[in-house]
């Protein structure tokens, strides 16, 4: 009881220190498997616990008016994991995307759901669930949830480069017309992804793991690393991350 009261007071104190709210946050949800191991659970249970924490996180972002959230849920490197674990993750993703269709919160708050990544690497049933969720929310524009699955930042840039080279070959562009702004349109045109303001990584890892390298690293976004595994990530941790972003905005204004 005392601890809960302390956390409530501390949470209010942190909120008061947040003077600026980011428009786009990107989250590397790390630690589901280590959380499961620490609790004597199987890996799938850790991933399910992480999915429940994601639900909480999305409520926190909506309450603060953060319009764009990008979740790094499954990288291209994750495909090399044990086949049973990969299949379990795909089943979990399918379930979550399928829920979008009937989730009243999605429709009440006009949340557009989109996938970022290489769909060709996913099984047919998952691709169909993703397409159905995207279709059901394609007209919404109040909030945007971008889910990165089978995603690799370098691969994304390589695909954009290939597209531009093909358009140069066809005469659509002159090589002198290729600029950072043009490259960015090819990276983000299908997903309405603006530059990232804040990257959050859980699980006590201090790297961004090839996540949105152009939109995050290229735009020098604020980064917040924290120790809790993703299923243990609290609103207090979230507010600490937002405080880091807010402090950076204040410091930039001074300089």
Cα distance between residue 52 and residue 187, in whole Å: 30
Q: Looking at 32, 56, 78, 210, which residue is catalytic?
A: 78
Radius of gyration of the chain (CA): 19
DSSP 82: -
Which residues, at least 6 apart from 43, have a Cβ–Cβ distance to it below 8 Å? 32, 33, 36, 37, 85, 88
Q: Is 192 a catalytic residue?
A: no
Coil, helix or strand at residue 68: strand
Residue 125 annotated as catalytic: no
From the centroid of its chain, how far is CA 94? 17
Q: Pseudo-torsion of CA 116, 120, 121, 125, nearest 10°?
A: 90
Place of tokens 């199987």: 42
Element (H, E) at 250: helix 235-254
Active site residues: 30, 78
């Amino acid at each position: 009881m005392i601890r809960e009261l302390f956390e409530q007071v501390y949470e209010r104190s942190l909120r008061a220190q947040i003077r600026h709210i980011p428009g786009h946050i990107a989250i590397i949800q790390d630690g589901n498997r280590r959380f499961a191991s620490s609790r004597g659970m199987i890996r799938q249970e850790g991933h399910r616990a992480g999915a429940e924490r994601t639900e909480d996180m999305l409520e926190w972002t909506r309450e603060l008016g953060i319009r764009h959230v990008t979740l790094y849920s499954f990288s291209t490197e994750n495909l090399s994991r044990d086949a049973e674990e990969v299949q379990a993750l795909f089943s979990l993703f399918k379930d979550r995307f399928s829920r979008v269709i009937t989730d009243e919160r999605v429709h009440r708050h006009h949340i557009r759901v989109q996938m970022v990544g290489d769909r060709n690497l996913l099984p047919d049933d998952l691709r169909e669930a993703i397409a159905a969720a995207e279709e059901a929310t394609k007209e919404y524009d109040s909030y945007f949830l971008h889910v990165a699955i089978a995603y690799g930042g370098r691969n994304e840039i390589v695909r954009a480069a290939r597209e531009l080279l093909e358009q140069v070959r066809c005469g659509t562009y002159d090589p002198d017309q290729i600029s950072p702004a043009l490259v960015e349109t090819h990276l983000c045109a299908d997903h309405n992804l603006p530059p990232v303001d804040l990257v959050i990584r859980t699980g006590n890892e201090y790297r961004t793991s090839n996540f949105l390298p152009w939109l995050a690293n290229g735009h020098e976004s604020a980064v917040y690393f924290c120790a809790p595994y993703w299923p243990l990530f609290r609103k207090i941790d979230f507010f600490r991350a937002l405080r880091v972003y807010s402090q950076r905005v204040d410091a930039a204004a001074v300089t």
